[in-house]
């Protein structure tokens, strides 16, 4: 039974409850039992809403590249629509929506980033019941290290 079917069933119970009360003049006990049944069905529909949504995708790679100015992200998912976000330390968010892919591995590069900064990559999948939970990965971009090696000529005098 889908979430929409549970909600529809709860609404039908309420409609039947109103009609039954008008036709049969229900006792208070019967009315309370039917009202409780309807409330339980609606609570069940709300509690199980996340159950019908997709699970978080698997983040396979999330690593800084290009001296910390790019983040390379790859993820696997059985779903075809994804929301990808990069949250930055300055409060800015970059958001991308992905449609279908020929494979189940998705790849994205965030460019123009700042070295030595902490970023959070978040990805979630979408199905007919909405977006699921986020998969998260935190990372710090690191500037490339340039090593200078100095050679000194040493002259030995005898």
Would you list the domain boundaries of the chain? 3-52, 58-140
Higher pLDDT, 86 or 30: 86
Any bridge partners for residue 70, and if so which?
65, 111
**Superfamily of domain covering 58-140:** Immunoglobulins (2.60.40.10)
3-state secondary structure of 51: helix
Nearest CA to 103 among 126, 85, 80, 135?
A: 80
Is the model's pLDDT at 8 over the cut of 90?
no
Q: Which pTM value belongs to this model?
A: 0.60
The strand order across the sheet containing 105-111 reads: 58-65, 70-76, 105-111
CB 65 within 8 A of CB 71: yes
CB 155 within 8 A of CB 80: no
SS3 of residue 77 by DSSP: coil
Q: What is the pLDDT of residues 28-52, one digit of tens each?
A: 677 677 677 777 777 766 666 666 7
């Amino acid at each position: 039974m889908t979430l929409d079917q549970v909600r529809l069933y709860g609404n039908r119970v309420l409609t039947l409850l109103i009609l039954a009360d008008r036709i049969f003049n229900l006792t208070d006990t019967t009315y309370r039992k039917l009202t409780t049944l309807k409330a339980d069905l609606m609570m069940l529909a709300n509690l199980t809403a996340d159950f019908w949504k997709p699970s978080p995708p698997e983040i396979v790679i999330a690593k800084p590249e290009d001296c910390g100015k790019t983040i390379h992200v790859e993820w696997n998912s059985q779903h075809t629509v994804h929301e990808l976000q990069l949250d930055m330390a300055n409060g800015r968010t970059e958001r991308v929506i992905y449609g279908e892919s020929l494979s189940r591995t998705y790849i994205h590069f965030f460019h123009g980033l700042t070295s030595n900064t902490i970023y959070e990559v978040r990805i979630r999948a979408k199905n007919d019941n909405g977006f699921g939970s986020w998969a998260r990965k935190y990372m710090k971009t690191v500037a490339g290290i340039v090593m200078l090696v100095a050679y000194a000529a040493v002259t030995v005098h005898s």
